[in-house]
Amino acid sequence: MAAAALLSFHTVSPFPPILSSPIITIKPRAVLNEARKMRVPYELKQGQSRLFHELPSGLNMEVIMQKGAADERNKRKIENPPLIFVHGSYHAAWCWAEHWIPFFSASGYDCYAISLLGQGESDEPAGSVAGTLQTHAGDVADFIRRKLMSPPVLLGHSFGALIIQYYIANIKNDQFLDLENLYPKLAGAVLVCSVPPSGNSGLIWRYLFTKPVAAFKVTRSLAAKAFQTSLPLCKETFFSAAMEDHLVLRYQELMKESSRMPLFDLRKLNASLPVPSVPKSSIELLVLGANDDFIVDGEGLKETGTFYGVSPISVEGVAHDMMLDCSWEKGANVILSWLSGLSTIR
């Protein structure tokens, strides 16, 4: 019974498998529905702006942006790659705007946080789900291709990191098919608390046999969406124990409103694992995990690092929502150090 419950969770959870179909992007049709925005609005911070990128489908995708600070020594902006942030399930662009976008923009990086379709302030497509890994990655690629002048670094969290893995795999495929412009080149990628490339089956069985209580809690929290109504469960699922309750309540309300429709039909994706492999060192990549992650365990983090031929880094004292947690700067500093090394390689 426990196995069935957890497997049920993973058909509606933020841990989908990777779609490995051809690279033809399916464009959803717009829905003329004015009652589609978040009822709990996110107020932007100083220096941030919200724009809406019109996709080829006619749908508008929310983007929160903040330009990089100028170098005070010579009064010109530092030459850094732009950063694009992709959220996971039950989140939207706001989760990056809270701490990490101000942090990285202050360090000279132009920052863009995307809300996937059907999430945050983005439009909803027709149908019962927001799209597929293929269409979401295609939407990110469309923004890069039409709005950016130089290759960016993609940073994804949880499910957003899976979208990035799909994107990376299709850069290779595009090169082989001489269709490189469909998925523009990247300066690098950061996978934050990502689901392993093989999917979630390993996580499922490890939780069932080693942490059955945690397995039940994860199922209740995410599959039944109990995190939306239970403050203790929301904190345990996404945040550190030291996180202040008033912050958990605020983010809980925003998470309720962020995902107005499922990102995709996970049952249609289960047979398409694992993620297509890429040549080692084909892209500069950072695999970053959280030592107190309640969802993605250490074995999952190790698997992702091994798959891409890099040594993963696990940050002490932070939980799954590393970018919102009370010690959010720990992960941000690791990424900033990696980005500094990336600039020397370039």
Query: DSSP letters along 34-56, please?
Result: STTS-SSPPPPPTT-EEEEEEPT
Question: Whose structure tokens read 């199922």?
Answer: 219
pLDDT, tens digit, 9 for 90 and up, residues 176-230: 555 556 899 999 999 999 988 876 666 665 766 677 777 667 766 676 676 889 9
Comparing 134-138, 176-180, 328-332, the range with the smallest average pLDDT is 176-180
Does pLDDT of 10 surpass 50?
A: no
SS3 192: strand
Q: For residue 274, say if its preceding peptide bond is cis, omega within 30 degrees of 0.
A: yes
Q: For the purposes of burial, counting CB atoms within 10 Å of the CB of 104, is it exposed (0-12), middle (13-18) or buried (19 or more)?
A: buried
The dihedral over CA atoms of 109, 114, 120, 126, expressed in degrees to the nearest 10, equals 170
188 Rama class: left (phi>0) / alpha (psi -120 to 50) / beta: left
Distance separating alpha carbons of residues 93 and 86, to the nearest angstrom: 7
The CATH number of 2-14+42-341, from 3.50.50.100, 3.40.50.1820, 3.30.470.30, 3.40.50.300, is 3.40.50.1820
pLDDT, tens digit, 9 for 90 and up, residues 146-158: 999 999 999 999 9
What's the pTM? Answer: 0.85
Comparing 6-10, 95-99, 117-121, 224-228, the range with the smallest average pLDDT is 6-10
Q: How large is the average pLDDT for residues 271-294?
A: 86
